[in-house]
Amino acid sequence: MPGYSALWPTAETVGDLARRQHEVVARPQLHALGVTRGHLHHEVRARRWRLAGQRAVILHRGEPTPVQRIWVALLNAGPRAAAGGLTAAALDGLAGFRRPPRTRLDRSLVDAATWATDPVFACGLLAAAVQQRLTTPGRLRVELATRRAGRHRRLLLAVLGDIEGGAQSFAEIDAGRLGRRAGLPAPTRQAVAVDPLGRRRYLDLYWDPPGLCVEIDGAFHLREEDWRLDMDRQNDLVADGRRVLRFPTITVRATPDRFLDQVARALAAPPGW
C-alpha cells in the first residue's frame, strides 16, 4: 500500500503539516520530515505532544476539537481512509477551514440518508442540504440512482421530486390516494378561496363541510419570505372560519399513518373546534 506521502500532499516542515491537518499528524508523515522516534518520544514525555492510537499524533496537550478527532480516526485507519456520510457532509458546510479527506458531498449526503434508521431524518437531511444550497435535487437523484439498494431509496427519490417543486402534484394525487385507501371522504383539490383583498387562494385539499383545509408544504415554504406569506394566508383562512392543517411533504411521505390520523380526527371533530 502506498505511504501517506504518496496519497496526501507533502509538506516542507512539521509546522506546514500541522497547519494543513489541524495539528494532527501521522507517525509516517513525521518520519518523512526527519522526525526520529526518539524525538517523538521526547516531545510526548515533555507533554508537548500526545499519542492518539497506533499512528496518530496530536501536536498539543489540550482537548482535541471535533475536526481533530476526525483526523485522528482517519490517520489511524490508514492513508486511503476518508470521512463519509453525515461527517463528510458536515465538513463541507464548514467555511474557512482546511478539511480532512472525505467523500464527495452528494455521496456523503446520500450515504448518510440511506444509513439513517429514521425515514423522516433521512428525508430532512436531503431537504436541508438543498435548502442551504449545498447541492441540488438533480445531483442527489443522480447519486441515488447509482444505488441498486439502500434504506429509504424509493422514499428519498419521491421526496427529491417534492423538493424540486412537485409538492402540488403530490397533494393532488398521492395524498388523495392515501385518503381513499383509508376511507376518508374525497376532498376538493385546488379549491379557490378569495381573501379580504380579493386575491384568489388555492387550497391543496378542502372538505366543505366541515370547512377543513389541508395544506402540504414543499421545501420552498421554508424560505423566510414564503414562510411569512404562508402564515398570513393561513391567518386569513382561519379568520374566515375555516380550519387549517399543515404538513411538510417529508412528514406525509415518511409517516402517512400520522397524516391520515390527524386528518380523520379533524374531519370528525364537532363544529366550533
Q: What is the pLDDT of residues 201-236, one digit of tens each?
A: 777 788 888 888 888 876 544 555 566 777 777 777
- Distances in Å between the Cα of 178 and the Cα atoms of 65, 122, 153, 262, 268 are 47, 22, 20, 13, 17
Q: What is the DSSP letter of 224?
A: H
3-state DSSP assignment of residue 206: strand
pLDDT digits (tens, 9 = 90+) for 175-189: 777 888 888 888 887
Q: Which residues of the chain have a pLDDT value below 50?
A: 1-3, 5-7, 94-97, 166-167, 171, 220-221
- List domains and CATH numbers for the chain: 4-81 (no CATH), 166-268 (3.40.960.10)
Per-residue confidence (pLDDT) for residue 140, from 0 to 100? 92
Q: For residue 1, what pLDDT is reported?
A: 34
**Residue matched to cell numbers 420552498:** 220
What is the number of alpha carbons within 13 Å of residue 262 lying toward its C-beta? Answer: 15
pLDDT at 167: 45
Question: Model pTM?
Answer: 0.49
pLDDT at res. 10: 57
Degrees to nearest 5, angle at CA 108 with 102 and 110: 165
The pLDDT value recorded for residue 2 is 44
